[in-house]
Structure 1
């Protein structure tokens, strides 16, 4: 399990006059026998048919008594608790992932990328800018935009280059650098892959069309 997943332990409760507190959430499940727990002044029974959730920060958890029951092996208790914890962790992670997807700021990301497309920002930079790890950002981006961040960025840069081709005073080399390509050769290759013509041919064809 991941570090943030539930930690599993088995223990036997007896009377504990002083009580205790934890800075983490607890799920207490009865296995063998039963006990009564006083939690912040409220009495709760835990046995094979009833469990208890104790939130982090609860000021006082005090076992008042332990009731003996059939002796069941500690390994079996541990196995059952581990299965429960694994299932809980998967459900918590699935809920967290769904929340991430709902909160993914598509409009803000798109606007930011359009402003910075010419700088060719890295995946790490984009993820950090919006508060995600690189892998999670990549997965959410693909779900939202239908393609990986790098491919979407290339498309934005080619769209910008297409508009700049209308200015006949701009060289292809300058346009390539202004839109984030390493050089004119890389720009020409990407442009041709997308539009079917090299940028110089596209510019001439567009000019001829305008003169008609």
Structure 2
């Protein structure tokens, strides 16, 4: 006996699933994330900066990169409105794993690639059609299938001078100072210096000796101390200004790091 189909569940799954192919305009700031599916990114207009597994590079029109599933990466537009074509690959199936095996192998050998002129023209034509009909799922699927089928036969060696991964403590400090009153994630810190999250975390800990989370917490406590010493704010306001979710959370963190409560610290500095 066949199981009943839950249409609501299927519809929600479809809404959460990425389109097979989509056009994306990237902002000038960096973002960082990962996803549980392989993705191919091809530049259409402008210049995009990518970092995948610690390998940074610029991607222009006709160039691209492969991001395998679960591999966190940083990306952002560099010049003007940077447009990209994104091909989202489905999870591998037992009956047809060949294409994803090839792509995963490709990513190990050449994360970045250059396409020849013939497939670039085809991609531009498909992009124009997709731009005219952004909600056409059949067109999106056809674009994905067509480009994937031709991709490996039209790839060229791509060996420009690769950008070195950047670790600027000044840039990290500026980002923290600008966002200290709110939650700051490791992914956001990584994006502030154009690095993928896992690479940033490893690099930060190896150079600073502490985790990014510990560093941000130290910054919050240092700022809290300066606010308390000014004597212009209540401890509740200090907790809010320094990004703690509550005064009790602030008190616990402050006491653990300094060995005294914020109230005691206030008294030691003769603040009423």
- Please report the TM-score for the alignment, with normalisation by the length of structure 2: 0.41
**Are the equivalent residues in 2 in contact too, given 1:161–1:175 (CA < 8 A)?**
yes
| Residue of structure 2 aligned with 1:23, choices 144, 149, 155 | 155
- The residue that corresponds to 1:69 in the other structure is none
Q: 1:170 aligns with which of 229, 233, 236?
A: 233
Going from structure 1 to structure 2, the CA distance change for 1:125 and 1:110 (only over 3 Å counts) comes to same
Task: Say whether the 8 Å CA contact 1:173–1:184 is kept in structure 2.
Answer: yes
Residues 2, 148 of structure 1: alpha-carbon distance in 2 compared, 3 angstrom cutoff? farther
Match of 2:183 among 120, 126, 137: 120
Change (3 A) 1:196 1:150: same
Partner of 1:139: 202
Structure showing the higher strand proportion among its residues: 2
Q: How far 1:144 sits from its partner (Å)? A: 2.4
Preserved contact between residue 239 and residue 246 of structure 2 (Cα < 8 Å):
yes
C-alpha contact 1:106 1:144 (8 A) present in aligned 2: no
Measure the CA separation in 2 of the matches of 1:202 and 1:167: 12
Relative to its length, the structure with more helix (as a share) is: 1
In the alignment, what sits opposite 1:186?
Answer: 249
CA distance in 1, matches of 2:105, 2:231: 57
Q: Deviations over 1:142-200 (max 9, x none)?
A: 12222111110000000000001123341111100110001110110111111111000
Cα distance change on mapping 1:2 and 1:120 into 2, 3 Å: farther
Match status 1:6 vs 2:69: no
Tell me the distance in 2 between the aligned counterparts of 1:112 and 1:129. 7
Query: Is the CA contact 1:127–1:134 (under 8 Å) kept in the aligned structure 2?
Result: yes
- Is the 2:171–2:193 Cα contact (8 Å) retained in structure 1? no
Note if contact 1:120-1:153 (Cα within 8 Å) is conserved in structure 2: no
Segments of structure 2 that go 5 or more residues without pairing to the other structure are 1-103, 111-152
- Within-5 A mapping of 1:152-163: 152-163=215-226
Secondary structure of the corresponding residue to residue 203 of structure 1: helix
User: Unpaired runs of 5+ in structure 1?
Assistant: 8-20, 26-54, 57-95
Report the RMSD for the aligned CA atoms in angstroms.
2.9
Does the Cα contact within 8 Å between 2:251 and 2:261 map onto a contact in 1? yes
Matched residue SS, 1:131: coil
